[in-house]
Chain A
Amino acid sequence: MPTIQTIDINAWYGTKQALKNISLEIEEHSITAFIGPSGCGKSTFIRIFNRMNDYIEGFKMEGQVLIDRQDINAKEVRVEELRQRVGIVFQKPNPFPKSIFENVAYGLRIQGINDKKVLSEVVEKSLMRAALWDEVKDDLNHPALSLSGGQQQRLCIARTLAVEPKIILMDEPASALDPISTSKIEDLATELKENYTIIIVTHNMQQAARISDKTAFFYMGEMIEYDKTTDLFTNPRHERTENYITGRFG
């Protein structure tokens, strides 16, 4: 039973088509990687799952996105509630200019939860799950911007985890990070898979191969190939995919 299903997604920025007829299904508790050359529509597509494109002027979309069989673009769906179920981590760490604690507590605060004890528990749990707790447990009141880039990104992951989403979207979460931080994020994604469904955009082939169960290759707004990661990397069915993953891309 797939958690996520898209049916014939087409999307435009103004008159420029960014996504063409994309249909795919994603299983629960799996990691799915989106790969493809720059500008092929990976970010546009991943942001469709929690409607982050809604506020982009001129953006238009057709097709259906079903999450747990529910059409997330249906009128009765509150987009705020959807985004609590489908969290997102961006390419560049973007902590709020607040304390570490307040960053992680943010999602609960906007739900009206201000009980200090509840917040403390959730902050601790989320930081633990994001593998950041040991590094910051004595500095929770320090500004988040005083952390290193890698720590900031794990903080952003903790912040996302704090609202207990079921699905986590990651748009190149490690591309701005050093190798050690990158491998921490990768380990983290693998661990989180137990409880969450993860979609990750990456430019790093090894990363996709290391952590994902399935991989989708995009090219100029189309999904060229979508398969088990091992199959796609060892035995691509399309020449374009092969060229891309072997780095022979022109």
Chain B
Amino acid sequence: MVRIKEKVIEGLLMTAGMITILTTLGIIWILFSESYGFFKEVHIVDFLSDTQWTPLFAQKHYGILPLLSGTLLVTFIAIMVALPLGIIIAIYLSEYAPANFRNKVKPSLEILAAVPTVVYGFFALTVVTPFLQNFIPGLSTFNALSAGMVMGIMIIPMISSLSEDALTAVPKSLREASYGMGATRFQTAIKVTVPAASSGILVSVILAIGRAIGETMIVTIAAGQQPVFTFDIRQSVETITAYIVQVSLGDVQHGSLEYQTIYAAGITLFLFTFLLNNISYFIKKKYQEKYE
């Protein structure tokens, strides 16, 4: 009886695992097959080098660069906000804060990541942008800066939490060696703990970049929907994700070339996050070996 129960449970778990794998494979299959249709019509060189993206207009151009620049620009701003703050928080929590304080702050920080992204988007559009317009002339209503900054705040806990784990994993004996020679806590953090935890910190940053690249709601609401090839943070830009939303919600005919553009955009996005995930996985494995 017990054996049968075990078998049933094992079977259920196995099915659950298979479903996830099959779903993933299905998504990848659709991405590839649909974008195959796209790339039959549009040459990959045009796709990668044309600086205009106007599939929904009469004068059609299919260059991914404007969407890519929009995505990378917003991601860059987000990381510029999240990286220093996330690391400072991680250093504070692991090197300075008493344990009971740390145990309270960490979960509360993670609430930042639990706020629905639509709230962030709305916040960027209705609070941050008007506020920044006081200082930055020429800041459009929809712009890369606000979206990026707010996204940065959202991903702070990804960086701070994983970096803090990496810092805490550094053996206490190394800190004591440093203190024992007359180093301050700050010197110890900068010269010993952070370098020793650098691979873990790097992983946290890469995962955060992946998250930022894939983020959709904030940019759709606050960054706008104008695919322009620019690195001007005051302007409205369109990210890959925002474009996919725009087309999915629009009245573009299914199966048309216009419709297939979202798969081409999607596969670009997928390749980026796939690459980032693999890099972080690779670093993580190397770093685990180092400590074991």
> CB within 8 Å of B: which residues of A?
50, 52, 55, 57, 80-84, 87-88, 90, 92, 94-98, 106-107, 109-111, 156, 159-160, 163
Whether A94 touches B171, Cβ cut-off 8 Å, given contacts A57-B98, A106-B191, A109-B191, is: yes
Q: How far is the CB of A60 from chain B (nearest CB, A)?
A: 14
Q: How far is the CB of B180 from chain A (nearest CB, A)?
A: 4
Given contacts A84-B182, A110-B178, A110-B183, 4 further A-B contacts (CB under 8 A): A83-B179, A106-B181, A110-B181, A111-B182
Cross-interface CB contact of A52 among B180, B191, B195, B196, cutoff 8 Å? B180
B187 touches A (CB below 8 Å): yes
Contact count band on B: 10 to 19
Contacts of A106 in B (CB 8 A): 178, 181, 183, 191
Contacts of A87 in B (CB 8 A): 180-181
Chain B, residues 149-177, CB within 8 Å of chain A (1/0): the string is 00000000000000000000001011011
Docked-complex contact A84 and B181, CB < 8 angstroms: yes
Cross-interface CB contact of A92 among B173, B181, B184, B191, cutoff 8 Å? B173
The residue on B at minimum CB distance from A107 is B181
Mostly helix, strand, loop or mixed at chain B's interface? Answer: helix
Select the residue from A50, A94, A159, A160 with max chain B CB neighbours within 10 A. Answer: A94
Q: How far is the CB of B133 from chain A (nearest CB, A)?
A: 45
Q: How far is the CB of A143 from chain B (nearest CB, A)?
A: 12
Q: How far is the CB of A164 from chain B (nearest CB, A)?
A: 11
Docked-complex contact B173 and A94, CB < 8 angstroms: yes
Contacts of A156 in B (CB 8 A): 177
Please name 22 pairs of A and B residues whose Cβ atoms are closer than 8 Å in the assembled complex, sorted by A: A80-B182, A80-B184, A81-B182, A83-B179, A83-B181, A83-B182, A84-B181, A84-B182, A90-B173, A94-B171, A94-B173, A95-B177, A96-B192, A96-B196, A97-B174, A98-B195, A106-B178, A106-B183, A110-B178, A110-B183, A110-B187, A111-B182
Docked-complex contact A107 and B192, CB < 8 angstroms: no
Contacts of A107 in B (CB 8 A): 181-182
The residue on A at minimum CB distance from B99 is A57
Docked-complex contact B177 and A96, CB < 8 angstroms: yes
Docked-complex contact B195 and A97, CB < 8 angstroms: yes
Contacts of B183 in A (CB 8 A): 80, 106, 110
Q: In the complex, A131 Cα to B107 Cα: how many Å? A: 50
Q: How far is the CB of B69 from chain A (nearest CB, A)?
A: 39
Contacts of A88 in B (CB 8 A): 176, 180
> CB within 8 Å of A: which residues of B?
98-99, 171, 173-174, 176-184, 187, 191-192, 195-196
Docked-complex contact B178 and A55, CB < 8 angstroms: no
Whether A55 touches B174, Cβ cut-off 8 Å, given contacts A96-B192, A109-B191, is: no
Docked-complex contact B182 and A160, CB < 8 angstroms: no
Nearest 9 CB-CB pairings of A with B: A94-B173, A84-B182, A107-B181, A88-B180, A83-B182, A80-B182, A110-B183, A94-B177, A110-B187
Q: How far is the CB of A206 from chain B (nearest CB, A)?
A: 27
Docked-complex contact B196 and A97, CB < 8 angstroms: yes
Docked-complex contact B174 and A96, CB < 8 angstroms: yes
Contacts of B192 in A (CB 8 A): 96
Q: In the complex, A84 Cα to B176 Cα: how many Å? A: 13
Contacts of A55 in B (CB 8 A): 179
The residue on B at minimum CB distance from A156 is B177
Q: How far is the CB of A49 from chain B (nearest CB, A)?
A: 11
Whether A94 touches B181, Cβ cut-off 8 Å, given contacts A57-B99, A110-B187, is: no
Contacts of B98 in A (CB 8 A): 57
Q: In the complex, A127 Cα to B171 Cα: how many Å? A: 25
Cross-interface CB contact of B176 among A52, A97, A98, A110, cutoff 8 Å? A52
Q: How far is the CB of A168 from chain B (nearest CB, A)?
A: 11
Docked-complex contact B182 and A52, CB < 8 angstroms: no
Contacts of B177 in A (CB 8 A): 90, 94-96, 156, 159
